[in-house]
Amino acid sequence: MGLTLKKIQMMSSTLKKIQMIKLKKQKIKCWMKPKLKKKRKKLKKLKKREKKLRVGLMLNKNQMRPKKLKKKMRTKRKKKLKIKVNEQKKKLRMISRMRMTKKLMNKLVMRLKRRLEEKTGDEFKSDELLKEEEKKFEDTEEEEEEEEVELQSWFQQ
């Protein structure tokens, strides 16, 4: 079942080129004598061209991807996926932080408003209350940061 020109013409263009090169190589090998340099050079050129076509098509002799190329492609994909996932996680973290800070600020403002309404007479006390609320807010922020660090370490494991 040798390849004939009719069979080759039915194939796709890059496969056609590869098969034509194979045919030429066979012909050269048939007529080649050991000391003919020109024939050897032609064979080398044909081999190079065939290799380029195969790499372009990602084919090896069995028309499958070569193992080395396969591995490179896999690692590249994995790296890209990891980078994408990490970026998404960062965005989500930032969004959640923003939401939490907004919620906390709104709660603080509401508390302060209520307390100021309750104690409208003493301005000095209201200033002290503001300072106390700010301290509480800072304490809650520190606790949240510690929780985030624990979560990150858990994710990494």
Dihedral sign for Cα atoms in the order 75, 81, 84, 89: negative
What pLDDT, on a 0 to 100 scale, did the predictor assign at position 122? 54
Q: Residues with Cβ < 8 Å from 69, sequence gap 6 or more?
A: 55, 58
Virtual torsion, Cα 54, 59, 62, 66, nearest 10 deg: 110
pLDDT digits (tens), the chain, 157 positions: 456 666 666 667 777 788 788 888 777 766 656 567 677 788 888 888 887 777 666 554 554 445 556 666 677 777 888 888 888 888 888 888 888 888 888 888 888 888 887 777 655 555 666 777 777 777 777 777 777 777 777 777 6
| Widest CA span in the chain | 113
